[in-house]
Amino acid sequence: MKDILHRKPFLQGMIGTPSVELDRHPLGDNVLWEVTHVVLFGHGGPGITGTPPLCGFQADDVALAAFFIILALDEWSDGLMKPITLNLDLLNDDLILRDLGLKLSAIKAKHEDEWVQLSTDIFFFNHRALPSQNTTDLTRGAMDILGIS
């Protein structure tokens, strides 16, 4: 976990990667795409008629998802679950989140086409929501037809 926390593969192509690399690798990875997808749309995903924003998602939304990934990795960094407590260094967390937001805003401004592609990847991420226990047979049937069950 410490290696993943150090390398941050979920931020590939964004932080610590030369701009030339953007030609060969997409921004982010499946983990970032899925976490951002859930942050933005919950487990249900976007509406059936929704479309990704023309200029891409807000950098702060993607930064929040990246921050959640960092928190989760930090919880498991020693191989055992260290639950987040109310004694977190909130100022430090705020600085990390703010730093991520600034870096991702700069990437969005500098690499507009790649950012729009990242947003499209996030929007259309194939997130399979688990039907709740209260889901009706009709809803489950529709979800099966749509391939989201």
CA 48 to chain centre: 20
> 58: closest CA among 11, 20, 105, 26?
105
- Reading the block at residue 50, the tokens are 């929704």
Q: Long-range contacts made by residues 52-57, C-beta under 8 angstroms, separation at least 24?
A: 52/116, 52/119, 52/120, 52/122, 52/123, 52/124, 53/119, 54/116, 55/112, 55/115, 55/116, 56/108, 56/112, 56/115, 56/116, 56/118, 56/119, 57/118, 57/119, 57/122, 57/123
Q: Across residues 73-98, what is the average pLDDT? A: 72
Structural domain of residue 82, as residue ranges?
2-146
Q: Sorting pLDDT into bands at 50, 70 and 90, what band is 133?
A: very low
Q: Across residues 67-94, what is the average pLDDT? A: 73
Per residue in 6-60, pLDDT (tens digit) is: 777 788 776 544 444 444 456 888 889 999 999 999 887 888 888 889 999 999 9
Per residue in 95-121, pLDDT (tens digit) is: 888 999 999 999 999 999 999 999 998
Total domains in the fold of the chain:
1
